[in-house]
């Protein structure tokens, strides 16, 4: 079998890239290790930058997003028991963010791919990549006990942090940058009315908290917890009591509790690999970088990655432009590091760090006070939160 581009991974990054290339007349095959149902069951981020929204609309998967997505003109930061609203729309000259769950983005993209008849293989086992340092890459996998081999021009590694693509790059060809944070996020999804119409980020002596949502009837909330904690140590009653203790009085009084639909603990890390291209293998999304979720940049960075990658591949196929391939990694990394900086800053601003001490706590408090009283600081926060241009 032969195709032009093999895309490994059927998350948002792989599906977006597949749709972008399909619209440009470029043949693709998507390989996914898990089942379609498993991919759709993953609970992930839900705040989309305007650039991501525009991209989804451009590739024809914006109908349900327009109908069900929640446009947010701002969000709130709470510290010292008081909330401060960040007016994104006013500070950026009219730009908003949209709350629409990653699961829904994935579903829309899967439906679009099926509608156009493009090929996807789910539950592909033992996927391996070969020859990407040559002009003739090959991808192998097993399906239902049968071995398959696909010849292709390029391989797009959209297979996540633990995927095979990055692990297949020779160690001497890649450089990794990483910071692991000394805490996690305990997240709960519940069929309850959100605390507020906008997100609330909380800095509290007991630890960070976030009140978010997926819809007007579906809440997604988080509390900072120890990396040693287990989900079993957090029955619903304990979780809601802890969240309430970290909220301001007004928010605590309006908090609606209920049984958790999903509950999990996620560690936080910052991670980047350089470069993001190795011959005819390209890394995109979580395969190339991880951001702490505080800045809501994970899915949005995947969108900008595949935007750049599609432009490079389209330039190669339509313009016979080899130089377009060389532009991919530098273009991505400029934006990636800006998002990493912002996510690190938001994380440092809002969380309790075990080794901060009294001095560190006072510095954090001073930073928060400066932020909410400085128009320049607020504009910088808003500009980064809604997303830097592609």
Give me the active site residues, please: 72, 201, 293, 297, 385
Instruction: Report d(CA 173, CA 256) in Å as an integer.
Output: 51
In eight-state DSSP terms, residue 237 is H
Report the candidate in 267, 272, 265, 269 with the shortest Cα–Cα distance to residue 344: 269
Query: How many other CB atoms are there within 10 angstroms of residue 1's CB atom?
Result: 11
Task: Please name the residue ranges forming H helices in the chain.
Answer: 12-23, 36-41, 50-58, 63-68, 88-91, 102-115, 164-167, 236-246, 249-254, 298-319, 323-326, 328-350, 357-373, 375-386
- Helix (H) / strand (E) element for 86: namely strand 82-87
* CA separation for the pair 264, 96 (Å, rounded): 29
C-alpha span between 238 and 257 (Å, rounded): 11
* Residues 46 and 53 sit within 8 Å (Cβ to Cβ): no
Alpha helices in 142-189 (DSSP H): 164-167
What lies within 8 Å, CB to CB, of 66 at 6+ separation is 57
| Pick from 111, 121, 107: nearest CA to 3 | 121
- Backbone φ, ψ for residue 356 (5° rounding): -70, -40
Spatial CA neighbour of 208 closest among 48, 368, 353: 353
Do 268 and 293 meet the contact criterion of CB atoms below 8 Å apart?
A: yes
Which of these, 262, 266, 267, 221, lies nearest to 243 by C-alpha position? Answer: 221
- Report the 10 Å Cβ neighbour count for 196: 18
In a 10 Å sphere around its CB, with 0-12 CB exposed, 13-18 middle and 19+ buried, how is residue 379 labelled?
A: middle
Q: How far apart are CA 184 and CA 188, in angstroms?
A: 13
CA dihedral for 353, 356, 358, 363, sign (positive or negative): negative
């Amino acid at each position: 079998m032969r195709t032009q581009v093999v895309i490994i991974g059927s998350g948002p990054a792989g599906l977006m890239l597949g749709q972008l290339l399909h619209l440009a007349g470029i043949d693709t095959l998507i390989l996914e290790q898990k089942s379609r149902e498993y991919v759709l069951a993953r609970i992930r981020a839900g705040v989309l930058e305007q650039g991501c929204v525009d991209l989804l609309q451009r590739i024809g998967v914006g109908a349900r997003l327009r109908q069900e997505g929640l446009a947010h003109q701002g969000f709130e930061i709470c510290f010292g028991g008081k909330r401060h609203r960040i007016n994104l729309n006013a500070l950026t000259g009219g730009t908003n963010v949209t709350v629409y769950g990653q699961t829904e983005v994935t579903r829309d993209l899967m439906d679009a791919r099926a509608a156009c008849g493009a090929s996807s293989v789910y539950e592909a086992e033992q996927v391996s990549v070969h020859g990407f340092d040559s002009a003739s890459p090959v991808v192998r996998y097993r399906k239902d006990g049968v071995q398959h081999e696909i010849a292709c021009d390029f391989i797009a590694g959209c297979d996540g942090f633990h995927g095979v693509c990055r692990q297949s790059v020779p160690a001497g060809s890649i450089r990794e940058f990483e910071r692991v944070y000394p805490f996690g996020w305990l997240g709960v999804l519940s069929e309850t009315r959100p605390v507020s119409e906008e997100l609330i980020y909380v800095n509290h002596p007991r630890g960070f908290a976030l009140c978010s949502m997926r819809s007007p009837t579906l809440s997604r909330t988080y509390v900072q917890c120890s990396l040693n904690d287990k989900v079993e140590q957090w029955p619903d009653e304990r979780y809601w009591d802890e969240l309430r203790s970290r909220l301001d009085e007004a928010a605590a009084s309006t908090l609606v509790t209920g049984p958790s639909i999903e509950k999990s603990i996620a560690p936080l890390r910052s991670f980047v690999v350089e470069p993001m291209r190795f011959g005819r293998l390209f890394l995109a999304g979580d395969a190339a970088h991880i951001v702490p979720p505080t800045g809501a940049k994970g899915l949005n960075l995947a969108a900008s990655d595949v935007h750049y990658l599609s432009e490079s591949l389209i330039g190669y196929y339509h313009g016979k432009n080899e130089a377009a391939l060389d532009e991919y990694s530098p273009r991505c990394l400029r934006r990636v590091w800006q998002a990493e900086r912002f996510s690190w800053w938001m994380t440092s601003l809002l969380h309790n760090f075990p080794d901060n001490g009294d001095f560190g706590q006072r510095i954090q408090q001073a930073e928060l006070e400066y932020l909410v009283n400085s128009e320049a600081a607020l504009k910088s926060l808003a500009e980064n939160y809604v997303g830097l241009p592609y």
